């Protein structure tokens, strides 16, 4: 074989690599069979990116139906008072309004919320300073971590990107009257 011809073939080879059909012809010419293309694995289901407990999901526009196993104590209560320690916080919720109080803001901050009922309790969801505001109340006994006082419900508050635990009771007085 002429060395010039071999050199010319080597120089053209990178250009031929750009075209798949040419490469297939080249492989057949030198006795290499093309590998059979393997089918791609089908996409496997992935878990959701967020937990439904962390990001509440509302579906449909029809009237909500009560869950047969819904907690009666939270289901039949229209207003609640919740509080927690370290950091100290309290929330009074009635209707579509929650009043969120901290030691820095004793007068409180009003938050528009939506009530969502689920099997173990109720959740009030809104936004505060562009972040999720969520108060989750469950019908389970709770004991205040500092005073030892007993409450009929547990509370979990997510505000300004932080989640805190506490206790709750059905509200009385002005908060309950606004519901009537």
How many other CB atoms are there within 10 angstroms of residue 142's CB atom? 20
Structure confidence at residue 9 (pLDDT): 66
Note the pLDDT of residue 149: 93
> Is 101 within a domain?
yes
Q: Are 99 and 92 in contact (CB under 8 A)?
A: yes
Per-residue pLDDT tens for 23-54? 677 677 776 665 555 666 677 766 555 555 55
pLDDT at 83: 96
Confidence of residue 152 (pLDDT cuts 50, 70, 90): very high
What is residue 180's predicted lDDT score, i.e. its pLDDT? 35
Span between the terminal Cα atoms of the chain, in Å: 101
Q: Cβ of 27: how many Cβ atoms within 10 Å?
A: 13
Position 63 confidence tier, pLDDT thresholds 50, 70, 90: low
CA 75/CA 97 separation, integer angstroms: 17
Q: What is the pLDDT of residues 77-88, one digit of tens each?
A: 789 999 999 889
Does the structure show a pLDDT above 80 at 179? no
Element (H, E) at 21: helix 20-29
Q: Is residue 159 part of a domain?
A: yes
- Predicted pLDDT at 30: 75
Q: What is the pLDDT of residue 44?
A: 72
When mean pLDDT is compared across 38-42, 160-164, 168-172, the lowest value belongs to: 38-42
Q: Is 90 within the bounds of a domain?
A: yes
Query: Considering the domain boundaries, does residue 29 fall inside one?
Result: no
pLDDT for the residue 175: 41
Q: Is residue 148, in this structure, part of any structural domain at all?
A: yes
Look at residue 79 and tell me if it is in a domain: yes
Is 83 part of a structural domain of the chain?
yes
CA 51 to the chain's CA centroid: 4
Q: What's the structural domain count of the chain? A: 1
> What is the reported pLDDT for 73?
57
The answer to whether position 30 is within a domain reads no
Q: For residue 94, what are the domain limits? A: 72-177
């Amino acid at each position: 074989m002429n060395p010039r011809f071999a050199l010319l073939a080597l120089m053209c080879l990178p250009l031929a690599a750009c075209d798949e059909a040419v490469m297939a012809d080249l492989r057949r010419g030198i006795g290499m069979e093309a590998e059979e293309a393997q089918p791609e694995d089908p996409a496997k289901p992935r878990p959701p990116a967020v937990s439904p407990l962390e990001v509440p999901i509302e579906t449909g526009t029809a009237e909500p139906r009560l869950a047969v196993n819904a907690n009666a104590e939270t289901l039949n209560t229209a207003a609640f008072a919740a509080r927690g320690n370290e950091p100290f916080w309290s929330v009074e919720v009635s209707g579509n309004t929650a009043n969120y109080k901290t030691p820095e803001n004793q007068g409180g901050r009003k938050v528009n919320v939506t009530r969502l009922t689920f099997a173990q309790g109720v959740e009030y969801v809104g936004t505060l300073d562009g972040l999720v505001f969520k108060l989750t109340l469950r019908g389970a006994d709770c004991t205040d971590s500092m005073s030892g006082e007993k409450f009929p419900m547990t509370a979990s508050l997510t505000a300004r990107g932080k989640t805190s635990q506490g206790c709750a009771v059905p509200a009385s007085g002005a908060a309950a009257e606004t519901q009537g």
